[in-house]
């Protein structure tokens, strides 16, 4: 390998440069695969690569008990709440349920979901970079990001689990069972 | 910045150990310091301690690389028992080498690398630099070497990583100030080596000078240590390690006889560098062949010798095991082949990178049947050159394979070698008889008992050799009982007669007295120095160092008898002692160290005192 | 130094030493010795330039019976001495005499590498499919189930064949002949001698005491024509009393066919010089009961020659740099201590 100090061309594996005796032992060790594959993906791949699941939407005036039952039956952690035109008004998540509803609301059938949803949620488009999505989720402490099309209509939900699964897939060969 | 006056202190000898991660450039630092000191006129002796792994993770204990140098105004023969100063570039290096530092020794540490991560890798729970005990026990100077280097190179157009790489020159500059060394040789060396990268050259030079300035201006550096020039014989000198010297010796021997040199070998630590050095010498008709295994290498060496070239093979202990059947064939064929064994820790795979001298009995008797073979051992790196030539001289004059023993310590350690003039060296006479009249393959020379070296291509002198016992003189296969005994005795006698051509045993010191210290191989430096100290104290101690282990030099029995006690220090469990006791019936005391490390002078001195009390 | 020997053609007698030959009466080695002694004089090389190196085994007694330079060395290691000798003295003609045990058991490694390196030596492998000298143990070429002193219930080891190993080692010249085929052996030996590079000549040899008849199907005058395929470069592969049978390639398998039925133009044509050893490999596996046994030169290609390359590198280096020992000593870090230094 070429010496990074003096430019001399050394045989592969040489410990010291033949020209200037500089140590080469830190220069020829290959970088870990993990770093590059994940870094590469996050900076190149788009959100739609992860094939986020189709979102489940409910109308603003859906009552809580129906909303909660829907979440349970569909095994999802997040509901999109839309207005009659289909525009996204808010999202209602497990966290909303935990912090705003559980133990605080007596009659679930008496309250609409719009009362407890998060208004004007963060959204992301499918053609945006994964790195972007990751940043939003980190900064906003979000576990779900609705995907909207060019007209702002919600179609899918990107969840933190999608990201976990994808990264695990990228480093599959290196992960060791614990 | 003004600083209070620097104290000057004269010392006759200083040992410095540079250590750091393998990427920190300590080998370069050490070798530059050595070159500067040698040029300055000191006597020097060095020993590198390489990492045990090929590529260890950065900052790990396995990745520590060190270089020890002993420099002086008096003659020295070892790289120093314990360092007076330690330069540690990272926590792992400090962890490994701090125990070796003398109490109150100078301790220079690069504090920038003592991060939590690095401390953890080194196995430190707490940061040792923050322990006040450290500053009590040693003269601690924790310098932010990396930061100061990068700062000094602020306006140099290099990336941060390249600037950090210059930190070893910074450390070198600082050490140069402390030990009053000139900067010019290293500045010039940088100029030469970095012609293709002028920015790097500039950076390295600046780092060196800035390090030096730190010594000059920092209050905490109060003393300049002065080590004056040593009295040295005039001549040209070169730093050489044992493997390099061996290679040069072998190439020289072949040239002295006007022959090609054929080196057949297989890579094995710590002998591989001999192959690498000889592979560069094709222009001298040195033919190196790398074989599929050690046995093939020895077989090839025999074939090449049969063909009439100077032939040798080089290996370490495990390789000698493999070669033993073939070595025996060479003994039976009575062909000149040199077998170099660079000894290492054994048995079996043992400790490949550690030194030992436990293959003597193997060389002496590690074969089936009565198989006598001459054995020579080198005493220090420069001695390898002379021993290599002598090994060939003996092989060719007596028509026998010859063992040459060195060890990992002298193979890798370096010291100044007074460069000879090739024209002044004694030629090696070689005769290949060409007269078929009365030719018998096993007829023997009257004085040496060597048989004629008749080589293929000589008309009318065709003959067959083999491993089966042969009839005296004719060399035909013979199972005759009387013949076999005569041949066994002849082969033994042939080796005994080598002593006729050797100088008599002559000890260094009083010719009789209380104690004779008998040594061989790479222990020379420590034993010689210890005996010198004892003699200075007026003790009746003499030192005899053996280059020839088989046959022993004439007069040895006499010499042994003139001292009340005989001490044999060896890096094994008593191999020379066994031979001496058996042959001379003398109750020699065996002093053993078998730790993969050489003797320190202090250890031998202490034993000498013990023997005399 | 004696004057140059007058040139006269060498004869077989020049190559016979005075040693009484000690092989068992009827041993195939006698025939081989006779043929080698006949053939070497034809090469026009002075006798003193021959060296015969053997290992251990009955075959390895060979050098004693040849009046040339020779070494009876140690078991399996002859190719290593031969390589070292040839690299030291490329001017010599070096012959290795070995057996199936010496070269494929203990010597397997060296056999492989000598052929791989393509050192210009000739390896004569006397294959009798048994260990003769040590009195009758099975060898790496003995058949599965072979009953011997060390395998009373039959050998449980699969054999290999020397030609196959040589192909795997990328040998540049591979041939087979039979101890009884005097003329054929002579031709093959001459070709091996002329070839530049490592040559392997497997000689099917009969051990009359411990494995008599192992090659009878090749030597029995009644059977041999049906069982032997004489290989000739450029000629279609035909054998049989009336050369009525041939070898054809069927997909990836060779098969024995009736020439009349199939037509000569559809037979496999032998090509010694083929780039790939595929054809040689097919041939190496042919033998009873389905196939005849091929004899002759299987493969003869040109490859870089080890000892030649070594010498070339030396000559090149010598042309570029003068042999200045004093300059060599002063390489590296040197300094002068002047005369008046105190």
Collapsing DSSP to helix, strand or coil, C175 comes out as: strand
Q: Is C320 in a helix, a strand, or coil?
A: helix
Q: Chain C window 302-331: which residues touch B at a Cβ cutoff of 8 Å?
A: 310, 313-314, 316-318, 320-323, 325-326, 328-331
In sign, the C-alpha dihedral spanning C308, C51, C62, B330 is negative
CB-CB under 8 Å, B303 with C83: yes
Q: Is B242 found in the same domain as B221?
A: no
Query: Is there a single domain that holds both residue B40 and residue B174?
Result: yes
Residues B206, B263, single domain; the answer is: no
Q: Which among B22, B54, B193 is the nearest to A19, CB-wise? A: B193
Q: Which domains, and CATH codes, for chain A?
A: 48-166 (3.10.580.10)
Q: At what angle do helices B184-193 and B26-40 cross, to 10 degrees?
A: 130
Determine the pLDDT at residue C285. 96
Would you kindly state where each structural domain of chain C is located, as residue ranges?
A: 4-219+303-314
Residues of B in contact with C314 (CB under 8 A): 282-283, 285, 287
What residue ranges in B133-257 does DSSP mark as E strands?
A: 139-143, 223-226, 235-241
Q: Is residue B414 situated within a structural domain?
A: yes
Topology, domain C4-219+303-314: Rossmann fold (3.40.50)
Residues forming beta bridges with residue C337, ordered by sequence position: B235
For each of chain C's 342 residues, which pLDDT tens digit applies?
333 445 578 888 889 988 888 899 889 999 999 999 999 999 999 999 999 999 999 999 999 999 999 999 999 999 999 999 999 999 999 999 999 999 999 999 999 999 999 999 999 999 999 999 998 999 999 999 999 989 999 999 999 999 999 999 999 999 999 999 999 999 999 999 999 999 999 999 999 999 999 999 999 998 889 999 999 999 999 999 999 999 999 999 999 999 999 999 999 999 999 999 999 999 999 999 999 999 999 999 999 999 999 999 999 999 999 999 999 999 987 888 887 644
- DSSP letters spanning C80-107: HHHHHHHHH-TTSEEEEEEEHHIIIIIT
Q: Is C20 on the interface with B (CB under 8 A)?
A: no
Question: Which C residues in the span 38-77 are in contact with B, Cβ-Cβ below 8 Å?
Answer: 46-51, 53, 63-64, 66-74, 77
* B545 Cβ neighbours under 8 A, 6+ residues apart: B379, B508, B518, B519, B520, B524, B527, B528
Put the strands of the sheet holding B402-407 in their side by side order: B286-290, B261-265, B310-315, B338-343, B402-407, B375-377, B548-550
The residue among B553, B568, B561 whose CA lies nearest residue B511 is B561
Smallest CA–CA distance from B59 into chain A, residue? A26
Contact yes or no for B323/B313 (Cβ under 8 A)? yes
Task: Give the best residue of A14, A22, A32 to mutate against chain B (max B CB count within 10 A).
Answer: A22
Phi-psi region of B241 (alpha: psi -120 to 50; beta: other; left: phi over 0): beta
Q: Nearest-CA neighbor of A62 among A85, A82, A76?
A: A82
Inside any domain, residue B542: yes
> How far is the C-alpha of B22 from the C-alpha of B63, rounded, in Å?
6
Q: Extract the residue ranges of chain A whose pLDDT is less than 50.
A: 177-178
Please count the other Cβ atoms lying within 10 Å of the Cβ belonging to residue B197. Answer: 21
Residues B168 and B60 in one domain: yes
In DSSP terms, which residues pair with B4 in a beta bridge? none
User: Is the CB of B200 inside 8 Å of chain A's CB atoms?
Assistant: yes
**A16/chain B closest Cα distance in angstroms:** 9
Any domain includes B151: yes
Same-domain check for residues B184 and B280 = no
CA–CA dist B421, B347 (Å, integer) = 41
B201 shares a domain with B109: yes
Q: What is the spatial distance between Cα B256 and Cα B100, in angstroms, rounded to a whole number?
A: 45
The H or E element containing residue C220 is none
User: In chain B, what residues touch C63 (CB-CB under 8 Å)?
Assistant: 464, 466
Residues of B in contact with C331 (CB under 8 A): 238
For residues B300 and B384, state if they share a domain.
Answer: yes
- CATH number reported for the structural domain that contains residue B361 in this entry: 3.40.50.970
Verify whether the Cβ–Cβ distance C342 to B231 is below 8 Å: yes
Q: Is the CB of C84 less than 8 angstroms away from the CB of B307?
A: yes
pLDDT digit string (tens) for B98-133? 999 999 999 999 999 999 989 999 999 999 999 999
> Is residue B212, in this structure, part of any structural domain at all?
yes
Residues B201 and B313 in one domain: no
Q: Let me know how long chain A is.
A: 178
Q: Which domain holds residue B303?
A: 238-424
Alpha-carbon span B167 to B152, nearest angstrom: 10
Cβ proximity of B535 and B319 under 8 Å: no
Q: Of A8, A21, A26, which is closest to B23 when you measure between CB atoms?
A: A26
CA-nearest residue to C112 within chain B is: B292
Peptide bond into B347 cis (omega under 30): yes
Measure the CA angle with vertex C257, ends C255 and C261; round to 5°.
145
Q: C with B: 3 or more CB pairs under 8 Å?
A: yes
Classified as helix, coil or strand, B347 is coil
Quickly tell me which residue has 């031969």 as its tokens.
C82
Q: Is residue B478 part of a domain?
A: no
State how far the Cα of A125 lies from the Cα of A156, in Å rounded to an integer.
10
Q: Which residues of B touch A5 (CB under 8 A)?
A: 162, 165, 194, 197, 200, 204
- C-alpha distances in Å from residue A28, one per residue of A2, A15, B92, B272: 10, 9, 21, 22
DSSP for B374-438, written as a single string: -EEE--STTHHHHHHHHHHHHHHHHTS-EEEEEEHHHHH-EEEEEPPPGGGSPP---------TT
B389 φ, ψ (degrees, to nearest 5): -65, -45
Task: Please tell me the number of Cα atoms within 13 Å of B244 on its side-chain side.
Answer: 19
**CA dihedral over B485, B489, B490, B495, signed as positive or negative:** positive
For A96-162, list the strands marked E by DSSP: 118-119, 124-125, 144-148, 154-159
Locus of tokens 């045993």: B505
Tokens of C110: 């060296």
DSSP E strands, A1-109: 53-54, 57-59, 78-82, 88-93
Q: Chain B contacts of C92, Cβ < 8 Å?
A: 307, 456-457
Do B422 and C329 make contact, defined as CB atoms within 8 angstroms?
yes
Own/partner contacts of A7-16, CB < 8 Å, gap of 24 or more, are A7/B196, A7/B197, A8/B196, A13/B54, A15/B22, A15/B50, A16/B27, A16/B28
Task: List CB contacts of C340: < 8 A, sequence separation 6 or more.
Answer: none
Quick check: helix, strand or coil at residue A126?
coil
| Among candidates B252, B436, B462 on the partner chain, residue whose Cβ is nearest the Cβ of C69 | B462
Domain-located, residue B51: yes
In this complex, do B282 and C70 lie within 8 Å of one another by their Cβ atoms?
no
Residue of chain B nearest C316, judged by CA positions: B283
Structural element, H or E, at residue B278: helix B272-279
Q: How many CB atoms lie within 10 A of CB C191?
A: 17
Domain count, chain B: 3
Q: Following DSSP, what letter does each residue of C229-282 receive, concatenated? A: EE--TTSB-EESTTS-EEEEEETTEEEEEEHHHH-GGGSPBP-TT-SSTHHHHH
For strand C245-250 and strand C238-239, is the pairing parallel, antiparallel, or unpaired? Answer: antiparallel
Taking only residues 72 to 101 of chain C, the set having a beta carbon closer than 8 angstroms to any beta carbon of chain B reads: 72-74, 77-89, 91-92
Q: Which two tokens mark B21?
A: 């991660």
Q: Which chains touch C (3 or more CB pairs under 8 A)?
A: B
**Contact predicate C201/C177, CB 8 Å:** yes
Question: Residue B233: inside a domain, yes or no?
Answer: no
DSSP-H helix ranges across chain A: 33-44, 64-74, 94-96, 130-140, 160-170
* Phi-psi map region of B497: left, alpha, beta (phi>0 left; psi -120 to 50 alpha): alpha
Pick the residue from chain C with its C-alpha nearest to B264. C84
- What whole-number distance in Å separates Cα of residue C135 and Cα of residue A41? 70
Taking CA atoms, C282 is separated from A141, B123, C191, C237, C250, in Å, by 70, 62, 22, 12, 12
Say yes or no: C336 contacts chain B, CB-CB below 8 A.
Answer: yes
Using CB atoms within 10 Å of the CB of residue A84, give its burial: 0 to 12 exposed, 13 to 18 middle, 19+ buried.
exposed
B212 with B182, same domain: the answer is: yes
Min Cα separation B235/chain C (Å): 5
Q: Find out whether B344 and B317 touch, Cβ atoms under 8 Å.
A: yes
What distance, in Å, lies between the first and last C-alpha atoms of chain B? 57
Q: Shortest CA distance to B113 belongs to which of B135, B94, B90?
A: B90
- Give the Cα separation of B274 and B400 in Å (integer): 22
Do B278 and B340 belong to one domain? yes
Cβ burial B107-144 (10 Å sphere, 16+ → b, else e): bbbbebbbeeebbebbebeeebbeeeebeeebbbbbbe
Strand (E) or helix (H) holding A85: none
Q: Chains A and B: how many Cβ contacts under 8 Å?
A: 53
Contacts of B204 in chain A (CB under 8 A): 5
Which contacts (CB < 8 Å, 24+ apart) does range A68-71 have? Answer: A68/A97, A68/A101, A68/A108, A71/A97
Contact C329 B283 (CB under 8 A): no
Is the pTM here over 0.80, yes or no?
A: yes
Nearest to B196 among A7, A15, A28 (CB): A7
Provide the shortest C-alpha distance from residue B425 to chain C (in Å). Answer: 11
Say yes or no for a CB contact (<8 Å) between A25 and B193. Answer: no
Torsion-angle region of B280 (φ positive above 0: left; ψ -120 to 50: alpha; else: beta): alpha
Q: The domain spanning residue B105 has which CATH number?
A: 3.40.920.10
B162 lies in some domain: yes
Cβ contacts (< 8 Å) between B54 and chain A: which residues? 13
Averages of pLDDT over runs of 10 residues in chain B (613 residues) are 80 97 93 94 94 87 95 96 97 97 97 93 94 96 96 92 94 97 96 93 96 94 94 92 98 98 97 96 97 98 98 98 98 98 96 96 98 98 98 98 98 95 97 96 97 97 96 95 98 98 97 97 98 96 98 98 98 98 97 97 97 94
Partners of C110 on chain B (C-beta within 8 Å) are 292, 295-296, 299
**Chains in contact with A, counting 3 or more C-beta pairs less than 8 Å apart as contact:** B
């Amino acid at each position: 390998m070429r010496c990074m100090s003096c430019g001399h061309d050394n045989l592969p594996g040489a410990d010291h440069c033949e020209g200037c005796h500089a140590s080469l032992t830190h220069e020829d060790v290959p970088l870990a695969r993990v770093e590059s594959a994940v870094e590469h993906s996050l900076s190149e791949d788009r959100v739609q690569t992860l094939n986020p699941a189709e979102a489940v939407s409910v109308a603003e005036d859906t009552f809580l008990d129906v909303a909660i039952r829907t979440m349970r039956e569909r095994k999802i952690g997040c509901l999109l709440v839309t207005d009659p035109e289909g525009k996204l008004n808010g999202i209602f998540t497990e966290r909303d349920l935990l912090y705003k509803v559980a133990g605080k609301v007596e009659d679930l059938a008496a309250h609409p979901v719009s009362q407890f949803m998060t208004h004007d949620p963060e959204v992301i488009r499918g053609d945006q970079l994964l790195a972007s999505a990751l940043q939003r989720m980190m900064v906003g402490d979000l576990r779900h990001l609705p995907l909207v099309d060019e007209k702002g209509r919600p179609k899918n939900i990107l969840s933190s689990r999608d990201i976990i699964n994808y990264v695990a897939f990228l480093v599959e060969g290196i992960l060791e069972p614990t | 910045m003004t600083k209070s006056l620097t104290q000057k202190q004269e010392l006759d000898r200083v040992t410095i150990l540079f250590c750091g991660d393998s990427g920190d450039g300590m080998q370069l630092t050490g070798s530059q310091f050595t070159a500067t000191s040698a040029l300055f006129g000191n006597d020097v002796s060095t020993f590198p301690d390489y990492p045990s792994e090929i590529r260890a993770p950065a900052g790990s204990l396995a990745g520590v690389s060190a270089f020890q140098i002993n420099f002086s105004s008096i003659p020295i023969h070892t790289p120093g028992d314990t360092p007076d100063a330690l330069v540690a570039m990272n926590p792992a290096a400090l962890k490994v080498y701090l125990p070796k530092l003398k109490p109150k020794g100078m301790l220079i540490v690069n504090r920038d690398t003592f991060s939590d991560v690095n401390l953890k890798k080194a196995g430190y729970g707490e940061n040792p630099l923050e322990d006040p005990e450290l500053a009590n026990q040693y003269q601690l100077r924790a310098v932010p070497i990396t930061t100061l280097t990068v700062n000094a190179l602020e306006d140099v157009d290099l990336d941060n990583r390249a600037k950090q790489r210059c930190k070893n020159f910074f450390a070198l500059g600082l050490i140069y100030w402390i030990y009053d060394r000139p900067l010019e040789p290293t500045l010039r060396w940088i100029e030469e080596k970095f012609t293709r990268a002028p920015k790097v050259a500039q950076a390295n030079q600046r780092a060196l000078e800035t390090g030096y300035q730190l010594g000059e201006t920092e209050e905490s550096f109060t003393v300049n240590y002065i080590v004056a020039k040593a009295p040295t014989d005039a001549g040209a000198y070169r730093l050489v390690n044992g493997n390099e010297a061996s290679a040069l010796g072998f190439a020289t021997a072949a040239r002295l006889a006007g022959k090609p040199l054929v080196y057949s070998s297989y890579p094995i630590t710590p002998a591989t560098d001999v192959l690498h050095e000889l592979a560069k010498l094709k222009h001298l008709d040195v033919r190196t062949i790398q074989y599929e295994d050690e046995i093939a290498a020895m077989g090839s060496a025999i074939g090449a010798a049969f063909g009439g070239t100077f032939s040798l093979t080089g290996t370490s202990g495990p390789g000698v095991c493999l070669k033993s059947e073939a070595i025996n064939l060479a003994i039976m064929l009575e062909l000149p082949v040199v077998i170099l064994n660079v000894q290492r820790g054994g048995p079996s795979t043992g400790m490949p990178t550690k030194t030992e001298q436990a293959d003597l009995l193997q060389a002496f008797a590690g074969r089936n049947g009565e198989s006598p073979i001459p054995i020579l051992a080198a005493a220090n790196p420069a001695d390898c050159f002379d021993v290599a030539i002598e090994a060939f001289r003996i092989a060719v004059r007596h028509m026998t394979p010859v063992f040459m023993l060195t060890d990992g310590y002298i193979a890798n350690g370096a010291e100044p070698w007074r460069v000879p003039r090739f024209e002044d060296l004694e030629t090696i006479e070689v005769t290949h008889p060409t007269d078929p009249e009365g030719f018998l393959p096993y007829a023997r020379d009257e004085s040496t008992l060597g048989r004629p070296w008749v080589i293929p291509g000589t008309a009318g002198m065709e003959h067959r050799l083999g491993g089966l016992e042969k009839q005296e003189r004719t060399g035909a296969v013979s199972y005759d009982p009387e013949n076999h005994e005569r041949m066994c005795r002849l082969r033994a006698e042939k080796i005994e007669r080598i002593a006729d051509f050797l100088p008599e045993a002559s000890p260094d010191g009083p010719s009789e007295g209380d104690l004779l210290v008998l040594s061989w191989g790479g222990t020379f430096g420590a034993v010689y120095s210890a005996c010198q100290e004892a003699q200075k104290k007026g003790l009746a101690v003499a030192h005899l160092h053996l280059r020839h282990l088989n046959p022993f030099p004439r007069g040895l029995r006499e010499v042994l008898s003139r001292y009340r006690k005989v001490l044999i220090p060896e890096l094994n469990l008593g191999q020379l002692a066994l031979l001496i006791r058996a042959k001379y019936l003398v109750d020699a005391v065996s002093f053993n160290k078998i730790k993969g490390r050489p003797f320190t002078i202090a250890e031998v001195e202490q034993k000498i005192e013990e023997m005399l009390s | 130094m004696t004057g140059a020997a007058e040139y006269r053609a060498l004869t077989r007698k020049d190559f016979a030493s005075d040693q009484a030959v000690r092989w068992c009466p009827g041993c195939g080695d006698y025939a081989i010795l006779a043929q080698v002694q006949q053939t070497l004089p034809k090469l026009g090389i002075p006798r003193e330039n021959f060296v015969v190196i053997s290992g251990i085994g009955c075959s390895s007694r060979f050098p004693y019976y040849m009046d040339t330079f020779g070494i009876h060395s140690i078991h399996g290691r002859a190719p290593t001495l031969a390589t070292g000798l040839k690299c030291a003295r490329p001017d010599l003609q070096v012959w290795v005499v070995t057996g199936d045990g010496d070269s494929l058991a203990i010597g397997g490694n060296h056999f492989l590498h000598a052929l791989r390196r393509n050192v210009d030596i000739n390896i004569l492998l006397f294959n009798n499919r048994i260990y003769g000298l040590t009195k009758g143990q099975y060898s790496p070429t003995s058949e599965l189930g072979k009953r011997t002193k060390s395998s009373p219930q039959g050998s449980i080891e699969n054999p290999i064949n020397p030609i196959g190993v040589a192909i795997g080692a990328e040998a540049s010249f591979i041939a087979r002949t039979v101890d009884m085929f005097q003329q054929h052996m002579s031709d093959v030996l001459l070709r091996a001698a002329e070839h530049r590079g490592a040559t392997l000549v497997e000689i099917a040899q009969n051990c009359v005491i411990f494995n008599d008849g192992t090659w009878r199907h090749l030597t029995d005058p009644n059977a041999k024509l049906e069982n032997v395929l004489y290989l000739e470069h450029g000629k279609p592969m035909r054998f049989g009393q009336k050369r009525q049978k041939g070898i054809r390639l069927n997909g990836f398998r060779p098969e024995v066919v009736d020439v009349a039925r199939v037509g000569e133009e559809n037979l496999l044509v032998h090509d010694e010089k083929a780039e790939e050893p595929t054809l040689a490999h097919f041939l190496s596996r042919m033998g009873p009961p389905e196939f005849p046994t091929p004899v002759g030169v299987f493969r003869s290609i040109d490859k870089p020659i080890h000892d030649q390359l070594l010498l070339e590198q030396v000559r090149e280096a010598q042309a570029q740099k003068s042999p200045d020992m004093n300059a060599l000593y002063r390489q590296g870090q040197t300094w002068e201590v002047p005369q008046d230094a105190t």
